């Protein structure tokens, strides 16, 4: 079956005074209908830029180049086509629910305006739809909420409003850029449950962007691990957590404290070293300076290995290399 979203060789660059910052260096991935794809990586690895590039929302200073980018029948490199599907069949929610809503307008106005724009519905039909969606995301007395302003709602409620607003037009794809990062843990869990529940009931595909691998294990169907602007590994949740092939993925998993497994009082795992600068060209494997199993050949081009749907960009990890993979 044709994937719902298809991205091939996406690059996002920022021109600096003397050089170029390559924020995204050739990302490729696919999202199938109704599935949850998680894009995981450290801060600054380019995961947010990837999501903004999909929606044509990159900052003005950024330039985008892409091999192919399709959403169903729509070519996402065509800006006019993007404007038709954006906020319509393809919706997005953001990290900061405190600032993502406009403080000057009531919730109801903000929820209905795009719906009216896209569908041509009347004001009262749009309000009815907004009440329905607020109920859908578990907000009590929705009619009252429509007249309220963002500052009258808590962070968790605002994120629910954001989700309800994104669902107004029944999108096929929801891009969620760290939607729970700014919330406290109990609210985080509620929002995750809500997203999973909505997905099952409404059959929307979700691209979930996060730095939190622990969270990914609770919602992902498939996972893309990003490092320094590029995909280093991709696979089903079972493949990534069960048999991670890239040393970076392995290192990330080792950083998740696990009740019962991790030793009590032991220091939390960290990855030594720092993320490489994305300014200028990166040759070879970007992770090699922090990699426990790096070889001299890692300075050259990295092969992309595949085992069914499981992909990884590393010289290691093929079956015969199994012994080499053991952390040094």
Number of C-alpha atoms within 13 angstroms, CB side, residue 194?
Answer: 25
Q: Are 7 and 176 in contact (CB under 8 A)?
A: no
- Closest distance to another protein from the beta carbon of 199 (Å): 19
Cβ nearer to another protein, comparing 125 with 256: 125
Based on the shown chain and the rule CB under 8 A, indicate whether residue 84 belongs to the binding site for another protein: yes
- Closest distance to another protein from the beta carbon of 137 (Å): 16
Distance, in Å, from the CA atom of 215 to the CA atom of 204, rounded to the nearest integer, reads: 19
Q: Please report, for residues 189, 245, 283, 287, 312, the alpha-carbon distance to residue 230 in angstroms, rounded to integers and kept in the order given.
A: 29, 16, 12, 11, 11
Cβ nearer to another protein, comparing 165 with 213: 165
Candidate list 10, 92, 205, 286; residue touching another protein; CB under 8 A:
92
Q: Please give the order of strands across the beta sheet that includes 205-210.
A: 90-93, 173-177, 205-210, 36-40, 222-227, 230-236, 310-313, 304-307
CA 42 to chain centroid: 12
What mask, x for binding another protein by CB under 8 A, covers residues 132 to 171?
-----------------x-x----------x--x------
Cβ nearer to another protein, comparing 122 with 277: 122
For residue 52, how many other CB atoms are within 10 A of its CB?
20
Q: Are 69 and 173 in contact (CB under 8 A)?
A: no
- Closest distance to another protein from the beta carbon of 276 (Å): 28
DSSP string, 218-232: HH-SEEEEEETTEEE
- Closest distance to another protein from the beta carbon of 295 (Å): 43
- Closest distance to another protein from the beta carbon of 149 (Å): 4
For residue 92, how many other CB atoms are within 10 A of its CB?
22
Q: How many residues bind another protein (CB under 8 A)?
A: 28
What mask, x for binding another protein by CB under 8 A, covers residues 164 to 203?
-x--------------------------------------
Based on the shown chain and the rule CB under 8 A, indicate whether residue 114 belongs to the binding site for another protein: yes
Q: Which residues bind another protein (CB under 8 A)?
A: 55, 57, 83-88, 91-92, 94, 96, 99-106, 113-114, 117-118, 149, 151, 162, 165
């Amino acid at each position: 079956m044709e994937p719902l979203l298809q991205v091939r060789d996406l690059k996002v660059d920022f021109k600096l005074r003397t050089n170029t910052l390559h924020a995204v260096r050739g990302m490729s991935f696919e999202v199938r209908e109704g599935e949850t794809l998680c894009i995981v990586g450290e801060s600054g690895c380019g995961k947010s830029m990837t999501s903004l590039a999909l929606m044509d929302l990159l900052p003005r200073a950024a330039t985008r180049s892409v091999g192919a980018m399709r959403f169903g029948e729509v070519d996402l490199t065509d800006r006019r086509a993007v404007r038709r599907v954006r906020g319509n069949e393809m919706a997005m929610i953001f990290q900061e629910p405190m600032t993502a809503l406009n403080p000057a307008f009531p919730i109801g106005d903000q929820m209905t305006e795009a719906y009216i724009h896209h569908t041509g519905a009347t004001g009262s039909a749009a309000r009815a739809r907004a009440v329905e969606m607020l109920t859908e995301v578990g907000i009590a007395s929705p009619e009252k909420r429509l007249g309220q302003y963002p500052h009258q709602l808590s962070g968790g409620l605002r994120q629910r409003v954001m989700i309800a607003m994104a669902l107004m037009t029944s999108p096929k794809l929801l891009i969620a850029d760290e939607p729970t990062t700014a919330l406290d843990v109990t609210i985080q869990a509620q929002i995750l449950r809500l997203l999973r529940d909505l997905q099952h009931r409404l059959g929307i595909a979700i691209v979930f962007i996060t730095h939190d691998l622990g969270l990914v294990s609770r919602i992902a169907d498939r996972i893309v691990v990003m490092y320094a602007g590029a995909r280093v590994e991709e696979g089903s949740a079972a493949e990534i957590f069960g048999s991670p092939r890239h040393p970076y993925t392995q290192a990330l998993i080792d950083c998740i404290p696990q009740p019962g497994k991790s030793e009590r009082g032991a220091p939390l795992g960290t990855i030594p070293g720092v993320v490489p600068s994305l300014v200028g060209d990166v040759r070879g494997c970007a992770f090699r300076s922090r990699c426990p199993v790096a070889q001299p050949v890692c300075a050259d081009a990295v092969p992309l290995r595949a085992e069914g749907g499981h992909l990884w960009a590393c010289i290691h990890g093929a079956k015969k290399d199994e012994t080499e993979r053991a952390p040094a």
